[in-house]
Structure 1
Amino acid sequence: MNRITFPRYLLCAFLLVAQSFYGFAQNAEVENEIQDIMKKYSAIGVSVAVVKQNKIIYTHSFGLKNVENNIPLTDQDIFRIASISKSFSATSIMQLVEAGKLSLDTDFSDLVGFKVRNPKFPETVITLKMMLSHRSSLNDSQGYLKLDVINPDKNPEWAKCYNNYEPGKGYEYCNLNFNLIGTVIEKISGERFDNYVKNHLLKPMGLYAGYCVDSLDANRFVTLYEYHNDTKTFTAAPTAYAPRREEIKNYVMGYSTPIFSPTGGMKISATDLAKYMTMHMNYGNYNGIKIMSKKHAKLMQTKISEEEDYAMAMRSVEDLIPGLTLKGHTGSAYGLYSAMFFNPKEKYGIVVITNGCNPIYTNGYCDLIQASVNSLYNNLIK
């Protein structure tokens, strides 16, 4: 009986076609699931990106960028990503620490230029590391959009910015911490905050992003929509991209920094955020480009205590995808909800951003975000 053989090139072609068909089927499945998730939570638009074995294997955008003009959302569009922005500030600090320009144990008062002390514990030094890990004992009760709120010379109510526990002995998530940190980046580097991040993080990785609205193409901004549960309707939030030109015109280096919101003001696409995530996944390296040392990248990802999951602008979570330990951060502001989580050992990660949904929360996660992350993991990574 004669044995039938196929030329090698035909076999390779067949395998490629089969692989492509399988990938197409996977993509179709996940896209159907995400569209169902969007429908369930009344989402306006969703952008996603998936990294596997250090490569972006999937990006897609669903729904609308702008409802009023019926403009579809695309992978090139950029969002204000809210609190994931904190990791860009922390990465900048780690670069300056690595360069020997400051220490994580430095008294924050010496860095910022005015007294930062909890009046109930005046002898306890509040360090840079405490600020980065939300263990400074600061709170946002007086706001966080200006440094005046915590400056004893500017606000007679400055003491209300501090909690009742000793710095370093407790945790409270606080946006003021990171707007103060942005100020330190300016004082130490001599560069305006938005320019420092652009020159030392974004440009080296080839990312189209930034904190300064006027440095970006406004046509690429995704409109953000806040959901009103009482009327089941959305309203646009244009202040998310307020250029604040007058404030910038009168900018004071080392003090006006909150104008750019180091705590939440980064504007970037899901795809470019996935590239940035890959750098953290590889402990400071992106495609052979060193952004920071492995030592300092690991410090950002290492929990300060077992009492909470926070490290330094990174969380360590085990319940986003049940049973898996992931590093990353979420964000929410102006109706936007975002997530960037990765596994540095297995070299995979997921980015999900929505510009508006019905924000039902379960165990601290926006349900739409968690459902989308799990769908992407189960279909494209698992």
Structure 2
Amino acid sequence: MEKYSAVGASVAVVKQGKIIYTHSFGLKDLENKEPLSDRDIFRIASISKSFSATSIMQLVEAGKIHLDDDFGDLVGFKIRNPKFPDQKITLKMALSHTSSLNDSQGYLNLDVINPDKNPDWAKCYNDYLPGSKFDYCNLNFNLIGTIIEKKSGERFDNYVKNHVIKPLGLYAGYCVDSLDSTRFVNLYEYHAGTKSYTPAPMAYAPRRTEIANYVMGYSTPIFSPTGGMKISATDLAKYMIMHMNYGTANGVKIISKKSAKQMQTALTDDEGYGFAIRTADNFIPGVKLKGHTGSAYGLYSTMFFNPKEKLGFVIITNGINATYTDGFPDFSRAAINSLYQSFFK
């Protein structure tokens, strides 16, 4: 933490499928010097995508949708790459970031890709055949959130709460006002020039006006299915155990073994990405890990596990001087290797 000027960090270690260590270091609030505790919750950024993917797999299992369904048919307006108008873009492609969509027009509302709303909608597509290449895209998952609403009849945040969070006994959620705001961890963006931090309160913007005017199946990006989950490191580890056990934790089945394995199976060689779970061979030397990272508003989150060895790690920091190696923050890499050496070596 000292080396990377970390504000605070919460960690959890799982061994033989059980949480054996949790701890919080440093500060939750830099201005008031308030210490970080294990019960505090962070907006975890892109690890949120796996909650959306898990929810979609439940609907697939229920027969309400299929992975090879036309993405546009599910969303409710045309989603086709204008350079390949005859090539269907499927739900499976969106889940694995092989849809050929991009975030160049933004992803905070669906208007950007809706041909009726944005004259530049065509810029949301890359120049290659859908299904042929990986390109990480937040818009994919905000669109997936709308499908969850359309097919379940529940507002996105409520669906995830009722079908993933509550059954696992977690304290978490996408809706800011459904959570205790005193437990939110302040997030801080680092400025290398001045070696200083500025808070990023927008991470927990309640967006009450937008929610008051909510349109089911279209306003979903308000809750950010792509990045808006708020949860503690300890509860994230409990959720991770469910994926580690291929869909079941504490006797509660969230998704089938088949669905869990599908989520963890890489569809692209270069990125090793399945459905919101990627494979990382170069994080801990000699250990194959499955999981996801997240970064936004100065936060960096890491959730990685090995389903065969039943080991896993959650590391969340609310602000660091971030440097990267092989696409991973050096802080997260150093922290996970430190925990691995301590608890497994």
**Common topology (TM > 0.5):** yes
Aligned: 1:41 with 2:4? yes
Alignment of 1:15-26 (within 5 A): none
The match for 1:320 among 283, 291, 304 is 283
Does 2:34 match 1:71?
Answer: yes
SS of the residue corresponding to residue 325 of structure 1 reads: strand
Identity of paired residues, percent? 75
State the shift of 1:229 in Å.
1.1
Matches within 5 A, 1:119-134: 119-134=82-97
Once the two structures are TM-superposed, the CA of residue 322 in structure 1 deviates from its matched residue by: 1.2
Corresponding position of 1:379 = 342
Counterparts of 2:133 and 2:320, CA distance in 1: 33
Return the match for 1:199 from 140, 155, 162.
162
SS at match of 1:296: helix
| Within-5 A mapping of 1:247-286 | 247-286=210-249
Q: Which has the higher helix share?
A: 1
Q: How does 1:205-244 map to 2 (within 5 A)?
A: 205-244=168-207
- Per the TM alignment, residue 381 of structure 1 is displaced from its structure 2 partner at its CA by 2.2
Question: Superposed, which structure 2 residues align to 1:1-382 within 5 Å?
Answer: 38-382=1-345
Letter in 2 for 1:337: Y
In structure 2, what is the equivalent of residue 22 of structure 1?
Answer: none
CA deviation after TM superposition for structure 1 residue 308, in Å: 2.4
Superposed displacement of residue 307, structure 1: 3.0
The 3-state SS of whatever aligns with 2:282 is coil
Structure number with greater Rg is 1
Aligned-residue offset at 1:258: 0.1
The alpha carbon displacement at 1:44 in A equals 0.3
Secondary structure in 1 aligned to 2:147? helix
Contact kept in structure 1, 2:27 and 2:33, CA below 8 Å: yes
Q: Give the partner amino acid of 1:293.
A: S
Tell me the TM-score normalised to structure 2 length. 0.99
Structure 2 unmatched runs, 5+:
none
Measure how far apart 1:181 and its partner are.
Answer: 0.3
What corresponds to 1:4 in structure 2? none
What CA RMSD, in Å, does the superposition of the two structures yield over aligned residues?
0.5
- Which stretch shows the higher mean deviation, 107-116 or 301-310? 301-310
Per-residue deviation at 1:323? Answer: 1.4
Tell me which residue corresponds to 1:5: none
**1:305 shift after superposition:** 2.7
1:118 to partner: Cα distance: 0.2
Give the aligned residue type for 1:164: D
Distance 1:241 1:308 in 2: 30
Distance (whole Å) between structure 1 residues aligned to residue 320 and residue 127 of structure 2 = 36
For 1:67 and 1:307, the matched residues in 2 are separated by 39
Superposition deviation, residue 363 in structure 1: 1.1
What is the one-letter code of the residue matched to 2:84?
F
Which consecutive residues of structure 1, in runs of 5 or more, have no partner in the other structure? 1-37
Alpha-carbon separation, structure 1, partners of 2:268 and 2:331: 29
Q: Deviations over 1:18-42 (max 9, x none)?
A: xxxxxxxxxxxxxxxxxxxx00000
Deviation at 1:309, TM superposition (A): 1.2
CA contact 2:134–2:268 (8 Å) conserved in 1: no
Q: Distance in 1 between matches of 2:79 and 2:269?
A: 26
CA distance in 1, matches of 2:138, 2:285: 28
